[in-house]
Amino acid sequence: MNYTVYIPQDIEEEGKNYLLERGHKIKLGSGLAEEVLMEEINDCDAVLTRSNAMINRKVIQAGKKLKIIAKYGVGLDNIDIEEATQQGIYVTNTPQANANAVAEHVLALMFYLSKNLRLVDRELRTGNFAIRNQLYSMDLGGKTLGIIGLGRIGRLLADKARQGLGMKVVGYDPYVDATSNLSLEIVTDVEWLFKNADVISLHLPLTETTKGIIGKREFLWMKSSAYLINASRGGVVKEDDLIQVLREGRIAGAGIDVFEMEPPDKRNPLFELDNVIVTPHNAALTKEASICMAMDAAVQIDQVLSGRKPDWSVNEPLIKKVFL
């Protein structure tokens, strides 16, 4: 039987071709407004979604034939997993596809900040060659990297920073036991991590528990010479608090790939600060990772539509849908 896969935002050809070669039909979306999603998902058996399409309760209920919602990526904050579970729909993600891309992006932000690249590039372009003697950068070797959230990305970042840069790496994750066999030191006191790390990198999912979990208190724990990097979800940080401490010079700077509101307003104060580097939530979007995310999501869909359990399900549907 031919099944229809709804793709609200286009993906790489490799993922679409995988589905087509296995006899599935593809329905590309025409917009991301709730009413558009509800109308277009109505006759579809699966949805392959990126981050900007909000697959909420209303959209899920409109998809009366849905058997799987496959996320192109790792974060699941745009999918109502509870509603999907109640409706007998699998939810999957692609946990192995983009970890390297995000870890490399974090390293790039670390280099950009620690070497003052924004300022020295701007000054040199104005003819100020003397900036080389006016502004010191910072070695990363020997410094302490604090990682909050020790999933695949956090662990891979730890390996790269320790092995490649000679950094001391400490990590905090309430779901990781301190005796775990990881190549970094696990700390149980998050305040200690904030107070002692030279660079802090956030790798937290956005949930009701983590929303706004990093704010002024945590920033004031940090060294004035320390940097914050967020390539997880914007909502885990209280953005106004971050802007305040950056303006006051209470921390040295920040590398921000994600925002509380996306896309961010072009007047966002973060864009005006010289001690900030911003990127448009594209840490995971290398060509290689994008192909992997498209393929991995497509594989999950084909597994479910073929009557199999998906490899990377994040839920267990309460009912099993009959495939007709």
Single out the catalytic residue among 24, 155, 203, 281.
281
Task: Give SS3 for 137.
Answer: coil
Cβ contacts of 6 within 8 Å, gap of 6 or more: 27, 29, 40, 41, 44, 46, 47, 48, 63
Rounded-to-integer distance, Cα 63 and Cα 205, Å: 26
* Distance in angstroms (rounded) separating the CA atoms of residues 70 and 76: 10
H or E element: which one contains 113? helix 99-114
Residue owning tokens 């003052």? 116
CB atoms closer than 10 angstroms to residue 275: 16
| CB of 88 closer than 8 Å to CB of 321 | yes
Respond yes or no: is residue 262 known to be catalytic.
Answer: yes
- Torsion angle defined by CA atoms of residues 208, 232, 101 and 184, in that order, rounded to the nearest 10 degrees: -90
- Mark whether 281 is an active-site residue: yes
Q: Which two tokens stand for residue 152?
A: 């695949």
Judging by beta carbons within 10 Å of its beta carbon (0-12, 13-18, 19+), is residue 140 exposed, middle or buried?
A: buried
Secondary structure element (H or E) that encloses residue 44, with its range: none
User: Do the Cβ atoms of 273 and 252 come closer than 8 Å?
Assistant: no
Give ∠ CA 248-168-225 in degrees, rounded to 5: 15
Residue 225: CB atoms within 10 A of its CB come to: 11
Phi, psi values for residue 27, rounded to 5°:
-120, 110
Of 35, 191, 262, 288, the active-site residue reads 262
Q: Alpha-carbon distance 303 to 310, whole Å?
A: 6
Q: Given 24, 83, 233, 239, which residue is catalytic?
A: 233
Residue 233 bears catalytic tag: yes
Catalytic residues: 233, 262, 281
